[in-house]
A and B are shown apart, each in its own frame.
Chain A
Amino acid sequence: MAEQSVNTDTQAAEDNGAYWSANIRTITVCLVIWALVSFGFGILLRPLIAGIEVGGTDLGFWFAQQGSILVFLALIFFYAWRMNKLDKEHGVEE
């Protein structure tokens, strides 16, 4: 009995480890996109994409005032969906 419980514990710990690193990977990808659209396209990389015209101004202006907000929304919903799936795959859902 005692041995079995130790085994399940180790297995649970490994499972949690895999779950956590999958979570960290997802977070990293999302945050890279988050930084790219706001600090990147909206501010620092704006001169690079200045050639692309949008409604009387350039793409960077659009990203700074509207585009990044739309991407942020998509990121949060993607993360919620992905994590709820991960929770189930690793059996850690509520």
Chain B
Amino acid sequence: MDQFTLNLLFVGASFALYIGIAVWARAGSTSEFYAAGRGVHPVTNGMATAADWMSAASFISMAGLIAFTGYDNSSFLMGWTGGYVLLALLLAPYLRKFGKFTVSEFIGDRFYSPTARLVAVICLLVASITYVIGQMQGVGIAFGRFLEIDAFWGLLLGSCVVFAYAVFGGMKGVTYTQVAQYCVLIMAYTIPAVFISLQLTGTPIPALGLFSETVNADGASSGVYLLTKLDQIVTDLGFASYTEAHKDSLNMVLFTLSLMIGTAGLPHVIMRFFTVPRVSDARWSAGWTLVFIALLYLTAPAVGAMARLNISEMMWPNGVNGEAVSVETIETDERYNWMATWQKTGLLDWEDKNGDGKIQYYNDKNDAMAEKAAANGWEGNELTNFNRDILVLANPEIANLPGWVIGLVAAGGLAAALSTAAGLLLAISSAVSHDLLKGQLTPNMSEKSELLAARISMAAAIVVAVILGLNPPGFAAQTVALAFGLAAASIFPALMMGIFSKRVNNVGAVSGMLAGLIFTLVYIFLHKGWFFIPDTNSFADTAEGSLLGIQSTAIGAVGAVINFAVAFGVSSITKETPQEIKDLVESVRTPAGAGAAVDH
């Protein structure tokens, strides 16, 4: 059986499973659609939340970004896990106690203002739609690869599948499907990593293999640590060293902080803690979620480092001072087949610029390398395009693993992108139908027409995401990082102040959210282009070229500080919160009396 059929088989089988579950658990009521009827066990909920959370960015893109920059991108690892500490300590138990369906409902009630609710809905929509763009990118890449078509057509096809599947399920279907998706994606991520770790270090646990010595072909230890060896090879090729810091620590701290606060402010993640039966379950559930996330996140840095080593050695089979790999080898040797298949997606390319029949892969922007290149007659880096987003999907092929592993990884990548896209669409649709339509415009809407409105708004969100996904503002994980910045600047501060301060009032919260959102959004557009349209940006998106010396992906943390400051400032000069709101805050702070959550 050839690889193409094998991929189709794995992807097809996993899809049949998800759709089967979605049909079996089809949502009948709004309570089931939004909160799965609140009958979900903390461990099950944790697993589903982990799948919901770990998106194309985590599965497909993150290890690739770490592989090509090393230590500097540790922000993704710390940021996307550290947010759960904030969520578990500062938000989840209280929001569960409050007991409504959506994040904006809490903001609307706590700040006793329909305007606050409306502003929260807007913040939520902006963050969620930016996030969906990143997912659609991932879906496009995964579909493009396994059907061996251009990433553009992969994107269109993928969006149809996401649509069909999210629209009919609702939260109940999504929760159980996501449990299945978690299992598929974690197997798909760890199995190849275990193989590769065994090949390179003889250790079956990739997280430990990263810090182990490499082994020779005969299985005996070489006495050289994997990271030492990798540092050596990449610096020999003129790239920045893997383990050292190259980014200024201000940007790294702010970026990490933005991802953390953003995690705790993303509505589709917070919503998951409304689905557990009790307040104490909400606390445990956050812990279980992180356990399941950590399984992937502890493996990811190993995947990145090992893939980087494998790629460098493939390009320089005789060592970095020997002959580079020849074009003929790439075209004929079975071990290099992956390069030809990825070339079809347009995400990988090479060109023999100096016509010597070899492909030299090195950093042609490094002055020290220029000398070596001139001496050897090289005319620039000949591995002309290596999209970082393909690394995880190509990884098993690069390591020459069996065909079924490659099929499994394709299925896993799609599971990750689909589960998050579905969760986000659910958050978007509940924001539109429950908060905007039922909460504001047409309060007398029947349950049936509310469900219909929810499904229509999902469809609209997909169309917007596809259009924006055609011109993504960065690699999948970077696009997603922008969404986190927006959530960090707008939603998290409002929620936290709503619980921990009785002083912050309606006017304060609304001005805080607007200030945080607008500041962050404008800063991002100034650096990434207005509405992410290329070449409409006023500043370069690097630490040096940017307006405040802060990269756009790291600005969310500053936006959050502005939100807090404006909210407290405005609240201190406007009317005090009424007594019934103080009582509401008091009741949210203690778990006693948390019944089943109710609709308003």
Contacts and interface: CB of A to CB of B under 8 A. Distances in A.
Nearest to B71: A61
B88 interface: yes
A21 B291 CA distance: 29
A51 to B, nearest CB: 15
A93 B97 CA distance: 11
Contact of A93 (B77, B286, B592): B592
Given A16-B589, A94-B594, A76 B81 contact: no
B156 interface: no
A79 B290 CA distance: 14
Contacts of A93: 280, 591-592
B582 to A, nearest CB: 11
A93 B93 CA distance: 12
Interface in B37-96: 71, 74, 77-78, 81-82, 84-85, 88-90, 93
Nearest to A91: B592
A54 interface: yes
Contact of B591 (A27, A66, A92): A92
B74 A77 contact: no
Nearest to A58: B243
The residue in A19, A20, A57, A65 that gathers the most chain B C-beta atoms within 10 A of its C-beta is A65
A69 B590 contact: no
B264 to A, nearest CB: 12
Given A38-B82, A94-B278, A72 B290 contact: yes
A79 B590 contact: no
Nearest to B279: A94
Contacts of A19: 590
Interface string A37-59: 01100111010000000111110
Nearest to A74: B287
A44 to B, nearest CB: 6
A16 to B, nearest CB: 6
State which size class the interface on B falls in: 35 or more
Interface residues of A, number: 41
Contacts of A56: 211, 213, 224-229, 243
Given A43-B249, A56-B228, A93-B592, A34 B81 contact: no
B142 to A, nearest CB: 25
B590 A16 contact: yes
A62 B260 CA distance: 19
B287 A77 contact: yes
A80 B590 contact: no
Contacts of B207: 66
Interface of B: 71, 74, 77-78, 81-82, 84-85, 88-90, 93, 207, 210-213, 224-229, 243, 245, 249, 252-253, 256-257, 260, 278-280, 283-284, 286-287, 290-291, 294, 297-298, 301, 586, 589-594
26 contacts: A19-B590, A27-B89, A30-B85, A34-B85, A38-B82, A39-B256, A43-B245, A55-B212, A56-B225, A56-B227, A56-B243, A65-B74, A65-B77, A66-B77, A66-B207, A69-B77, A69-B81, A72-B82, A73-B287, A76-B287, A80-B88, A80-B284, A83-B280, A84-B280, A87-B280, A94-B593
Interface of A: 16, 19-20, 23, 27, 30-31, 34, 38-39, 42-44, 46, 54-58, 61-62, 64-66, 68-70, 72-73, 75-77, 79-80, 83-84, 87, 91-94
Given A76-B283, A79-B88, 18 more contacts: A16-B589, A23-B589, A43-B249, A43-B256, A56-B213, A56-B226, A64-B77, A65-B74, A68-B77, A68-B78, A68-B81, A69-B81, A72-B290, A76-B89, A79-B89, A84-B280, A92-B590, A94-B279
Q: What 10 A-B pairs are tightest by C-beta distance, nearest first? A: A56-B225, A55-B211, A64-B74, A80-B283, A56-B227, A76-B287, A65-B301, A56-B228, A92-B590, A92-B592
